[in-house]
Amino acid sequence: MVIERLTKKERHRRLVQMIDDNPFVTDRELTRQLKVSIQTIRLDRMELGIPELRERMKQMAEHSYDQVRSLSLEEVVGDVVDLQLDKSGISMFEIREEHVFSRTKIARGHYVFAQANSLAVAVINDEIALTTSADIRFLRQVHLGEKCIAKAYVRSHAAQKAKVEVFTYVGDEMVFQGNFVVYRSTGE
């Protein structure tokens, strides 16, 4: 079996495209997709001036979001990295030892739910926003060390209720989906 190697130029093009498509992609995921070593990915990123994941997240957080109104930032489970009130939001949550069952190292479901639920509330442009109902599906288990990327979209808002859809991913794989109805005090 012959493994086809990409030219450096083509690998750089793909690397840039993959990071543009998903700024939260890890170096490990890039190595898997591009079939090169972690050192090659790190050297390519340095050569292209692309910071590591942590720095990319920090830059996004500093430049691209509205202020959460309905919660304090500390009350949102995960790190909010993008927020456009009444439109959309993104948060990242790394599953650590305290979030998993000790025997299986599988994340406790309420943490995955809490990330999605708090983001659904945070995306609402109101002083008071509370979840009134949620229709949720866990699509696969999340394990210790995995990074959950939750993406929330406000689908509609009328009177004093908003409908918010949240999808949570680990890499490219969806692990959770939720449809939340959120009460808002002003209905604006």
In this prediction, residue 5 has a pLDDT band, given cuts at 50, 70 and 90, of: confident
CATH topology of domain 8-59: Arc Repressor Mutant, subunit A (1.10.10)
Higher per-residue confidence, 53 vs 122: 122
- Please report the pLDDT score of residue 70 as a whole number: 78
pLDDT in tens, 71-91: 777 788 998 888 899 999 999
Structural domain spans, the chain:
8-59, 64-184
The CATH number assigned to the domain with range 64-184 reads 3.10.129.10
Global pTM reads 0.70
Write down the mean pLDDT value for the chain: 88
CA distance 161 to 176: 23
CA distance 77 to 119: 8
Instruction: Reduce the secondary structure of the chain to three states and give it as a string.
Output: CCCCCCCHHHHHHHHHHHHHHCCCCCHHHHHHHHCCCHHHHHHHHHHHCCCCHHHHHHHHHHHCECCCCCCCHHHCCCEEEEEECCCEEEEEEECCHHHECCCCCEECHHHHHHHHHHHHHHCCCCCCEEEEEEEEEECCCCECCCEEEEEEEEEEEECCEEEEEEEEEECCEEEEEEEEEEEECCCC
Domains 8-59 and 64-184 share a fold: no
